[in-house]
């Protein structure tokens, strides 16, 4: 099993992690996108009885990644919250307790479209919020990908996924990293999020992840 794959992108060595994150070891930083904390709480506030387990589970996953990589900085590429309705006391407590464990961790949030509507995180979470895009090192951190940019960028927003077809009617659909020389679009980190099937172009690369294993989709595979 491969829980990570090392790649070279714009003269930098990056590790794509199966648990939907990127580790840039040279800068001691971890990147994630689209956690959508509080999404289950948003459904409950709307009368749909969904248990609030995803926020705690995602905080546990993130804690494991931070402990494993020993990073000093976490960059969140947008959509920290799902909606203002999801900013409940329960969600606040879960996030606060997680933050207390990682008091020394520097956290940057690039505001996404959901963040603009829901508002910035609670101040006691000590998260630095920045507009989209935000220059970091020699590339941009974005929430929403763009067709043309002056610099290569990391982004989220899309929740990329794809279907890889095998023999007969067999197929597998999962989250993925979608990249080329100008961009890397990260899969949504949140476990309670959907997927949007992408259509890669000739020079694009796709790395499929199920949260445990990650592998590169061979060029010419039947992708939809």
Q: What are the tens digits of pLDDT across the range 10-27?
A: 999 999 999 999 999 999
pLDDT tens digits, residue range 102-128?
Answer: 999 999 999 999 888 889 999 999 999
Task: With respect to residue 156, please indicate whether it lies within any of the assigned structural domains.
Answer: yes
176 vs 110: CA distance, rounded Å: 21
In a domain? residue 224: no
Residue ranges making up the domain that contains 171: 4-216
- Per the domain annotation, does 178 fall within a domain? yes
CATH code at position 118 = 3.60.21
Q: What is the mean pLDDT of residues 16-44?
A: 88
47-51, 65-69, 181-185, 202-206: lowest mean pLDDT where? 47-51
Q: Which of 185, 208, 179 is nearest to 218 (CA)?
A: 208
Domain contains 117: yes
pLDDT in tens, 171-221: 778 899 999 999 999 999 998 677 888 888 888 999 999 999 999 988 655
Asked whether residue 115 is domain-assigned, the answer is yes
Give CA–CA dist 206/220, Å, rounded: 11
Query: What span, in angstroms and rounded, lies between the C-alpha atoms of 141 and 145?
Result: 10
pTM of structure:
0.91
Residue 165 lies in a domain: yes
In the beta sheet, which residues pair with residue 81? 37
Q: Do the strands 73-76 and 29-32 form a parallel or antiparallel pair, or are they unpaired?
A: parallel
Domain count, the chain: 1
Q: Is residue 190 a part of any domain in this protein?
A: yes
47 in a domain, yes or no?
yes
**Which strand ranges, in their side-by-side order, compose the sheet holding 29-32?**
4-9, 12-17, 21-24, 29-32, 73-76, 106-110, 128-130
């Amino acid at each position: 099993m491969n829980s990570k794959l090392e790649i070279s992108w714009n003269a930098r060595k990056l590790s794509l992690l199966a648990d939907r994150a990127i580790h840039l070891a040279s800068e001691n930083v971890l990147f994630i996108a689209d956690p959508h904390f509080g999404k289950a709480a948003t459904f409950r506030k709307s009368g749909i009885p969904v248990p609030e387990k995803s926020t705690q589970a995602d905080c546990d996953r993130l804690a494991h990644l931070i402990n494993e990589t020993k990073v000093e900085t976490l960059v969140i590429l947008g959509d920290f919250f799902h909606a203002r309705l999801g900013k409940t006391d329960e969600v606040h407590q879960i996030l606060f307790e997680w933050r207390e464990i990682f008091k020394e961790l520097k956290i940057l949030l690039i505001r996404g479209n959901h963040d603009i509507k829901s508002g910035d995180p609670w101040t006691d979470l000590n998260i630095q919020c920045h507009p989209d895009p935000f220059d970091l090192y020699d590339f941009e951190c974005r929430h929403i990908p763009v067709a043309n940019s002056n610099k290569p960028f990391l982004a989220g927003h899309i929740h990329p996924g794809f279907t890889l077809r095998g023999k007969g009617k067999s197929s597998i659909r999962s989250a993925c990293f979608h990249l080329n020389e100008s961009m890397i679009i990260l899969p949504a980190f949140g476990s309670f999020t959907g997927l949007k099937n992408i259509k890669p172009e000739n020079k694009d690369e796709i790395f499929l992840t199920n949260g445990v294993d990650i592998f590169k989709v061979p060029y010419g595979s039947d992708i939809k």
